[in-house]
């Protein structure tokens, strides 16, 4: 009886104490102004440390607040200050648009992820000469496990790119650099990053839709999401594009200054579905946020994009999904995104699910950074830890 009385007393006392506890305060929303000020200071310091002409940063917070900050110049000779709305080449980060389009077609039942690509392209005259032609599936294209090697680093291609800077490349002309070549591995048996995979994916998309992939991307994503500062790169003149600097050892053999007379020294149209866009960092972050929070695609397709990841030689434990680089262990926890290189420009897109925030960084140089300085991705990790 005494024990029961004691327990009842404890319960009553606990109730009294809980009743007098102050109400739980809701966690305040992030102060975007303070975050922006810290981001500006960090960007200025980092850009100076790597000796980049200019840098552009975009951030989207969990509650949807977004902003861009810039540092440095968009043109070394003119010393023109970088602006938030300036465009920089995204390189392979542009694959995310083509992958998202493919995911929508998969969900609509118009594209089969597991189908052999011969279902869509098998009647083309050159198809049988494509390495691993009969065994490659759509999934293998999207995860870079097809065995189709890069066309864009082939010495014959780079020579033609420099010699014919105004040439408009057809998908077939790009693929021709691989025909009859020995693949490095059987389809699906290993991993090798290659723009050619997404060139072939783009061909399949246009075969299915009967329209230009860029038109589909604009109608499905750019216009609805109001991404005014995302521009397909289809000619040497890209409105709003800032000058880029490739340094002394560009892998495509291009000069340091990528712009001459208001246009690029080569036609960026060669990238197409392998990249194919110029963006502001702010709008790139907004795009990444819409993609990775399942606004641009359905939650089911977003999950498929991540769950399809295969081991990729892009860092410890890194995997590659359907147009996404998946990093399970980073200083800020699991992260999704994509990296981008175009001569004269570097890009990183990063979404941190644990924070619900998305970041994009772009710089207008691809020259080797000084030893001991932070890579763009590492800069984003450090920045994200303060959000």
**How does pLDDT run across 349-377, given as a tens digit for each residue?**
999 999 999 999 999 999 999 989 999 99
Dihedral sign (CA 137, 143, 145, 149): positive
Residue 55 lies in a domain: no
Say if residues 320 and 306 touch (Cβ distance below 8 Å).
Answer: no
pLDDT of residue 29: 57
Residue 368 lies in a domain: no
Tell me the average pLDDT across 326-342: 97
Tokens of 166: 């105004």
Say if residues 175 and 130 touch (Cβ distance below 8 Å).
Answer: yes
Tokens of 64: 């949807």
Q: Which of 301, 275, 353 is nearest to 95 (CA)?
A: 275
Residue 163 lies in a domain: yes
pLDDT of residue 28: 57
Cα-flanking dihedrals φ and ψ of residue 363, to 5°?
-130, 155
Confidence grade of residue 22 (pLDDT, cut at 50, 70, 90): very low
The string over 26-61, giving b where at least 16 C-beta atoms fall within 10 Å of a residue's C-beta and e elsewhere, is eeeeeeeeebbeebeebbeebbeebebbbbbbbbbb
Select the more confidently predicted residue: 153 or 18.
153
Residue 208 lies in a domain: yes
Confidence grade of residue 7 (pLDDT, cut at 50, 70, 90): very low
Whether pLDDT at 24 is above 50: no
Whether pLDDT at 267 is above 80: yes
- CATH assignment of the domain containing 164: 3.40.710.10
pLDDT of residue 215: 98
Tokens of 107: 């969900």
pLDDT digits (tens, 9 = 90+) for 42-87: 999 999 999 999 999 999 999 999 999 999 999 999 999 999 999 9
Chain-centre distance for alpha carbon 91: 8
Residue 147 lies in a domain: yes
Residue 239 lies in a domain: yes
Confidence grade of residue 33 (pLDDT, cut at 50, 70, 90): confident
Whether pLDDT at 8 is above 70: no
Average pLDDT, the chain: 92
What's the domain range around 156? 85-352
- Cα-atom radius of gyration of the chain, to the nearest Å? 24
Tokens of 316: 């410890």
> Which regions of 296-352 does DSSP assign to beta strands (E)?
310-311, 319-320, 325-327, 335-342, 345-352
Residue 370 lies in a domain: no
Whether pLDDT at 9 is above 50: no
Tell me the average pLDDT across 301-308: 98
Confidence grade of residue 32 (pLDDT, cut at 50, 70, 90): confident
Select the more confidently predicted residue: 4 or 158.
158
Confidence grade of residue 170 (pLDDT, cut at 50, 70, 90): very high
Select the more confidently predicted residue: 29 or 386.
386
Residue 139 lies in a domain: yes
71 strand-pairing partners: 55
Transcribe 279-310 into DSSP letters.
E-HHHHHHHHHHHHTTSSS-HHHHHHHHHT-E
66 strand-pairing partners: 60
Tell me the average pLDDT across 26-51: 87
Burial class of 385 by CB neighbour count within 10 A (0 to 12, 13 to 18, 19+): exposed
Number of domain units in the chain: 1
Tell me the average pLDDT across 168-177: 97
pLDDT of residue 30: 65
């Amino acid at each position: 009886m005494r024990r029961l009385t004691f327990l009842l007393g404890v319960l009553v006392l606990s109730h009294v104490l809980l009743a007098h506890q102050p109400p739980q305060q809701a966690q305040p929303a992030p102060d975007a102004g303070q975050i922006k000020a810290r981001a500006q200071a960090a960007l200025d310091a980092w850009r100076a440390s790597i000796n980049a002409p200019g840098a552009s940063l975009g951030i989207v917070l969990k509650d949807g607040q977004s902003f861009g900050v810039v540092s440095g110049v968009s043109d070394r000779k003119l010393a023109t200050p970088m602006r938030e709305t300036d465009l920089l080449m995204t390189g392979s980060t542009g694959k995310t648009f083509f992958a998202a389009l493919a995911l929508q077609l998969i969900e609509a039942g118009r594209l089969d992820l597991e189908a052999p690509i011969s279902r869509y392209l098998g009647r083309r005259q050159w198809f049988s000469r494509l390495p691993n032609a009969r065994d490659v599936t759509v999934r293998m294209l999207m995860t870079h496990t097809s065995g189709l090697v890069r066309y864009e680093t082939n010495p014959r291609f780079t020579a033609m790119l420099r010699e014919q800077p105004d040439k408009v490349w057809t998908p077939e002309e790009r693929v021709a650099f691989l025909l009859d070549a020995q693949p490095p591995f059987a389809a699906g048996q290993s991993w090798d990053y290659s723009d050619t995979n997404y060139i072939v994916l783009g061909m399949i998309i246009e075969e299915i839709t009967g329209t230009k992939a860029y038109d589909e991307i604009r109608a499905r994503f750019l216009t609805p999401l109001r991404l005014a500062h995302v521009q397909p790169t289809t000619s040497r003149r890209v409105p709003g594009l800032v000058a880029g600097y490739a340094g002394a050892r560009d892998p495509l053999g291009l000069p340091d200054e990528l712009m001459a007379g208001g246009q690029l020294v080569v036609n960026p149209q060669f990238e197409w579905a392998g990249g194919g866009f110029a963006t502001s960092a702010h709008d790139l972050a907004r795009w990444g946020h819409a993609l990775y929070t399942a606004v641009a695609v359905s939650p089911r397709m977003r999950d498929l994009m991540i769950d399809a990841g295969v081991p990729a030689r892009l860092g410890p434990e890194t995997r590659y999904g359907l147009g996404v680089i998946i990093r399970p262990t980073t200083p800020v926890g699991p992260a999704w995104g994509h990296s981008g290189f175009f001569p004269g420009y570097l890009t990183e897109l990063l979404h941190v699910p644990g924070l619900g925030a998305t970041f994009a960084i772009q710089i207008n140089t691809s020259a080797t950074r000084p030893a001991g300085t932070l890579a763009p991705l590492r800069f984003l990790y450090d920045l994200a830890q303060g959000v």
